[in-house]
Structure 1
């Protein structure tokens, strides 16, 4: 059986040689660093995938591999336990999604068989919680003797002998009201969900969950979730006189085995971007930084739009340094050139992205034209508690009188949480070390609105300790996954993480 390390060797070799993974599997004898068992397992995989490749559709790839060439399904079909049955259901649902995609796209475009589109669709289904139709129990599994885990939305129209509703605590039921991701036009403000509407919808959802039970209903809550205390859901008061209350105060059962981490060697320095990834999700840091599985998630239209803005901004600064300040019209011409090469051409929202990009580069062009002084483009090595953190500021402008202005360019929307970002503590620390004794101003610039927001010191010691704590945990080899419903589907390693 090939290990993860064996798989990484093949992936890195294919990247270095400019080959596809299919081609690498056909040339295993040329790849060094594989274990003997790994080489044997990969040879078997190569046999299973022979004749298939980048132009093979997801449906053809999976059905050929699962049903015609491998014995992967046999142990699951022969196992009598519920876990094997659940895995079979999951495979069935995946094939169902592949079949739907296959029927829509057909075989018309052999250069783009839709594999990337399929994975993007699965990510979108998960990110937008549109999986209720797939969570519903399929007719083929109606007789499985197993516990069915589903959302309340997914349970609508169904009935069970027994139902368990967990997490009936504040912030969980009802959930906190979320910000509106797509607000209605100003003239249709009545379409915005108000607080009372949100609470009423959550209460209806609560009673939908209650009414799924035919014989037995169990409602539970904890007094503490992770490190936060939680009170009972206000909805429990409406049914309290019908409940038999029992309190459990015994030891919490260990649902997962304690993981043993392998320490890593210390490094001379760490990039701020890498540490930010770790603080968001240590498992993602392991995939991206240690395993080098960065994937192709940077090709979205939204990111290509931002990339064009940053490339144009860099060109404008170079022109300014040469003593050739540019006009807004010249900035738009450079944006057009960048857009033709790197922009999201043909995307459904291209016109919207293009208009936003034009607004931003015009603002940046005017800002640069109004500045005097020089730019410092060198990366910083910031010393924090004996550790070195590397950081490259977006813009550093040194005025003729020696004053230093550090700007962080924010091409997204302005948020209230921006001043709390730990990176500003690092910027303040790095600027003080690099320009001792000088007058330093630090802020965020929003080119979409041509707005500058100063960033004053706020809990800097505490925020800097987050960086050093991350470094310590990395060197201890601790890489637990931190699941997040909105972020996980956008991770390039979403399909292999196992969270």
Structure 2
């Protein structure tokens, strides 16, 4: 409990009579909620001075081999002591806790699946086994991998990021998106299978035409280059969505589609496959979510899609991750966080990721730490108390995870990173002593490739040609690059008022660069007001603050041009192995000191690696090629700084090699997704990111 709860108990029962308290400081894993074992240390002393203390020593859950393991660890914990060990009530089975190491991370899930099947053959049902991790994102990855390996799992994870739910979200987006980018996922459905070439033809047609959202389905015969099979499939889709448009209720659309116009719900209903049952549960959960959407302005489907993005971005979808009670009887492996497993027990417990970079994890300092002296019982500064508490909690997490197992406990860890460097094991393992057996395993089968990770069959006519910002996007997320610059359906991110502010500043910057006439203070003010109004901020509640921010950025931009002669920027073509990178500087200035500056102007803040990424390398290569003796600069208006780019010969060669590799990967159709809970919900391709239709995709870039 937290300190406030103890004070409340004092107020309710000052003398402590008839109060009975139980706790285990070694299982204190809810510090983020304010809980602290500090209260236990004060019991019978500063708090409830007449209280009596005792210690429970007998463990009725686990076999002696497992009790010995977590007891050995307990005696070395910050919250433990030499008397923290427990005695097992049960008889031993001769199976000590085991550490199974593999070489690479992708082999870990295969070793995990093999161990699950091994325990099942020994009499442990799937439902009596649990995989415990420190975070939900890792559990989601493990769950998907285990399903591909044929192991049934009982885990929903992030509901809106499940494949079957994203399929439905993509379908709904077809009704409100003029580009119909959701067809990328719909074309992968068995009910509406469409070739990649046909989907590409649809996109090309919609880019050239001006159809209202969703109306193109009524005119599929007018789409050129679509195969006869493709037209038949599109006609089936048109019939399935008949009567619905962008004003339709999303719940009505999907309920009608799933139950009346397709066999999708029926297939899930009769399937004996545990994975299908879990998918059915996820869809049921999603339909319940849609049925109770709050009323609001705008199109219902668009409003719902925006709400989904917001829920995922803020992590407010956690209630939707809970499985219904009726699903608990399913014979499937439980996937849980250690926090979620507290208080539960399983015949076999599996804990992957026992590496030093996973547990104990060193969290970043809190953005707003408590003032020094505010935390009762803390020693040192508030930051020192926070770090000490986090280190203690990491020990408690490991203790809780071990003590969930009744009969078998198996730990896993890869020993190498993806680059071949050594990946150290968790130091917690050495503290288990002789209670832990270790062995290295080499899985006999590979981990099946996820559908969304498979390469695209890209047939390219001629050489590749991309701009430096485009290739920089490939570095940050190859999948988004694919949607944006190969398929041309990526669109813009979901905009906010601050993003509109930056667009307004960007438009003024571009106008200043395009004009040879100096800008007066009054002209700058007028242009700023006009640009803000054009972006819809003219009547915004924070219009004055936005105007001040925009003015500060623009004044810094103009100050950097003072006394310099602006030259017309010229696009520079860089040839790399027959492929082409096109670098277009935002402006070129000849300064009074005779130094020419080739500049890239950005309205935002500088990213930590921006001065060293491939975009920066491309700009340096362009300057060396077309502007000998000039300097390359990155200008960030929000920071009020202009940074000169400088890479050593070794660094520049490394970035050049990386550029060449990226171009080779693009030609080979390799576009893996860089998954991030922070950036993905804002991505234009959030609802379609995943598998692509079968068949080749023909493209010409130059």
Do both proteins adopt the same fold according to a TM-score greater than 0.5, normalized to the shorter chain?
yes
1:290-439 alignment runs, 5 A limit: 290-297=486-493, 299-319=495-515, 321-322=516-517, 324-327=518-521, 329-343=522-536, 353-368=546-561, 370-384=562-576, 386-399=578-591, 403-436=595-628, 439=629
Q: Show the counterpart of 1:122.
A: 308
1:3 and 2:189 correspond: no
Shift of 1:384: 4.0
Q: In structure 2, the residue corresponding to 1:413 is in which secondary structure? A: coil
Map Cα deviations across residues 90-123 of structure 1 (whole Å, 9 max, x no partner): 21232233234x1x22xx53x421x334333433
Instruction: Sort the Cα spacing of 1:184 and 1:270 in 2 relative to 1 into closer, same or farther, 3 A.
Output: same
Contact 2:195 2:230 in 1 (8 A): no
Pairing 1:229–2:422 present: yes
Q: Specify the alignment match of 1:444 in structure 2.
A: 634
Distance 1:496 1:371 in 2: 49
Q: Give me the TM-score of the superposition, normalised by structure 2.
A: 0.62
| Counterpart check, 1:457 vs 2:643 | no
Summarize the Cα distance change of 1:143–1:479 in structure 2 as closer, same or farther, 3 Å threshold.
same
Post-superposition Cα deviations, 1:351-406, rounded to whole Å, max 9, x if no partner, equal 765543332122223333x1321232332223345542102223221347753112
Determine helix, strand or coil for the equivalent of 1:336.
Answer: helix
CA distance in 1, matches of 2:363, 2:242: 51
1:96 aligns to what?
Answer: 288
Structure-2 separation of matches of 1:352 and 1:240: 61
Q: Which residue of 1 aligns with 2:660?
A: 468
Match of 1:255 in 2: 448
Give deviations 1:272-305, integer Å, cap 9, x for gaps: 2222222233333322222222134253434322
**1:43 & 1:208 partners in 2: Cα distance?**
56
Could you tell me how far 1:463 is from its partner in structure 2? 0.7
Q: Which runs of 5+ in 2 are unaligned?
A: 1-191, 375-380, 692-702
Aligned mates of 1:203, 1:128 — CA distance in 2: 28
Q: Which one is further off, 216-225 or 332-341?
A: 216-225
Q: CA deviation at 1:80?
A: 0.1
> What is the CA deviation profile of residues 51-80 of structure 1, one whole-angstrom value per residue up to 9, with x for unaligned ones?
211112322222222223322111111110
How far 1:142 sits from its partner (Å)?
A: 1.6
Q: For 1:67 and 1:271, how far apart are their aligned partners in 2? A: 47
Structure 2: distance between partners of 1:367 and 1:282? 34
Kindly indicate whether the alpha-carbon contact (under 8 Å) linking 2:250 and 2:290 is maintained by their aligned counterparts in 1: yes
| Moved beyond 6 Å, runs of 4+ | 184-189, 345-351
Conservation of the 8 A alpha-carbon contact between 1:132 and 1:153 = no
Query: Quick check: 1:284–1:493 contact (8 Å CA) kept in 2?
Result: yes
- Show structure 1 runs of 5+ residues with no match: none
Which residue pairs with 1:32 in the alignment? 224
Distance 1:413 1:204 in 2: 39
Query: Contact 1:305–1:343 (CA<8 Å) still a contact in 2?
Result: no
- CA separation in 1, counterparts of 2:540 and 2:492? 17
The 8 Å contact of residues 201 and 226 in structure 2, kept in 1 or not, is answered as yes
CA contact (8 A) 2:494 2:684 kept: no
Note if 1:243 corresponds to 2:430.
Answer: no
TM-score, structure 1 normalization: 0.85
Match of 1:284 in 2: 480
Q: Which residue of 2 aligns with 1:272?
A: 468
For 2:342 and 2:320, the matched residues in 1 are separated by: 13
CA offset digits 1:304-350 (Å, max 9, x no partner): 2221111111223344x12x3322x5323312211111155777877
Q: Which deviates further from its counterpart, 343-352 or 259-268?
A: 343-352
Distance 1:473 1:298 in 2: 28
Distance 1:492 1:423, change over 3 A: same
Rounded Cα–Cα distance in structure 2 between residues aligned with 1:347 and 1:256: 48
CA RMSD of aligned residues (A): 3.3
* Superimposed CA distance per residue, residues 404-449 of structure 1 (whole angstroms, 9 cap, x where no aligned partner): 112233433345433322322221221122123xx31222233334
**Residues 33, 318 of structure 1: CA spacing in aligned structure 2 closer, same or farther, 3 A cutoff?**
closer
Give the structure, 1 or 2, with the largest relative contact order (CA under 8 Å, sep 6 or more): 2
Cα deviation for residue 138 of structure 1 reads 1.9
1:382 partner SS: strand
Q: 1:142 to 1:120 in 2, by over 3 A?
A: same
242-251 vs 425-434, which moves further: 242-251
